[in-house]
């Protein structure tokens, strides 16, 4: 079975994403965001777009969204997805990292098994301000309307928060759910 790749967008938690999947015995590789799309298409069964400091440093990530593989975007990865498909991203009012409570409105496949409210760790320096057409809002919070989105038909998902850190309730479940999505694709 092919591995899942974690695309390194120079964020401080990309190595933790990689480690979280390894700890779940999920075959995974950490790759630079300049990896040619042909290499991604041929070598992986799913893509996790990691976080990072700015969308300007996202390399060739938008090209990976056209490969037909399942995609999970974390923080900056969510922003890349939103912009690529016609959504908008703007600076957040709450700024840097912190703990927040997220309300889950749709328990689709990526958020299956979670309660209606969960504590998470997120940065809100930038946020999605308009969801792309064809995407569904999955979760929101008191400080951010768009905490999670999905386009189930394309198997593309995005989260504002970081499941890989200990501050997020049962974050490994997101990665287990994504692995199952990749297995079924």
| Whole-angstrom distance, CA of residue 91 vs CA of residue 75 | 13
Tokens standing for 146? 């768009």
Among 75, 144, 151, 182, the one annotated catalytic: 75
What residues contact 108, with CB distance under 8 A and at least 6 apart? 136, 138, 150, 152
Dig out the tokens for 35 from the structure. Answer: 């990896």
Give the Cα-Cα-Cα angle 56, 62, 67 (nearest 5 degrees). Answer: 165
Distance (Å, whole) CA 19 – CA 37: 23
Active site annotation includes 164: yes
Confirm whether 75 is a catalytic residue: yes
Question: Do residues 41 and 67 make contact, with C-beta atoms less than 8 angstroms apart?
Answer: yes
Q: Which of 18, 79, 124, 162 is catalytic?
A: 162
For residues 10 and 75, give the distance between their C-alpha atoms in angstroms, rounded to a whole number.
12
d(CA 19, CA 50): 13
Crossing angle of helices 14-23 and 172-184, rounded to 10°: 70
Q: How many residues does the chain have?
A: 185
Where in the sequence numbering do the catalytic residues fall?
Answer: 75, 162, 164
């Amino acid at each position: 079975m092919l591995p899942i790749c974690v695309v390194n967008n120079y964020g401080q938690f990309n190595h933790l994403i990689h480690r979280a999947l390894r700890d779940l015995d999920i075959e995974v590789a950490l790759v630079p965001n300049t990896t040619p799309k042909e290499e991604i298409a041929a070598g992986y069964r799913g893509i996790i777009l990691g976080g990072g400091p700015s969308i300007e440093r996202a390399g060739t990530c938008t090209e990976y969204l056209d490969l037909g593989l399942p995609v999970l975007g974390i923080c900056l990865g969510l922003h890349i997805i939103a912009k690529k498909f016609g959504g908008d991203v703007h600076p957040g009012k709450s700024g840097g990292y912190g703990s927040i409570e997220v309300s889950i409105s749709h328990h689709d496949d990526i958020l299956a098994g979670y309660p209606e409210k969960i504590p998470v760790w997120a940065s809100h320096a930038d946020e999605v301000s308009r969801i792309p057409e064809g995407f569904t809002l999955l979760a929101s919070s008191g400080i951010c309307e768009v905490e999670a989105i999905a386009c189930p038909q394309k198997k593309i998902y995005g989260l504002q928060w970081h499941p890989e850190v200990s501050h997020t309730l049962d974050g490994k479940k997101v990665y287990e759910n994504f692995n199952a999505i990749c297995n079924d694709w």
